Amino acid sequence: MKIEVPEFDARTGKDQLDVIDTDTGMVVGHLQCGLGETGPAPDYFRLPSRSISLFDDKYWGRYASHKECQSFADGVAAVLNHLTQQNEVRFVQQEPRLTRRV
């Protein structure tokens, strides 16, 4: 699994873009880009403007840059790839051994 997060350009007028698994070509999530929000007074800190959600909001986060969003998606893909490899190993190990009775 290789997840590709699209680059966002505010001039397109779109506020939500599809995140795609390049191995299967399927849409696995969405990237929403806003103007950013400010936190409550008196600090008025700025919250990240990009929200990414993957696999029906099972994995999500808010980040300030495209690089951070892509790193998050790469991390999710690495964990899921590792889990699916572990399941394949378990199935191989659980196959019955054929022994010959003498």
C-alpha–C-alpha distance, residues 29 and 56, integer Å: 7
Please report, for the chain, the start and end positions of each structural domain, with discontinuous segments joined by +. 3-93
Alpha helices per DSSP H over the chain: 66-93
Q: Which of 79, 69, 80, 75 is nearest to 19 (CA)?
A: 69
Query: Could you give the 3-state DSSP secondary structure of residue 74?
Result: helix
| Chain segment 55-74, per-residue pLDDT in tens | 999 999 989 888 999 999 99
| Chain segment 17-49, per-residue pLDDT in tens | 899 999 999 999 999 887 666 666 666 666 677
**Tokens (6 digits) for 78:** 């690495």
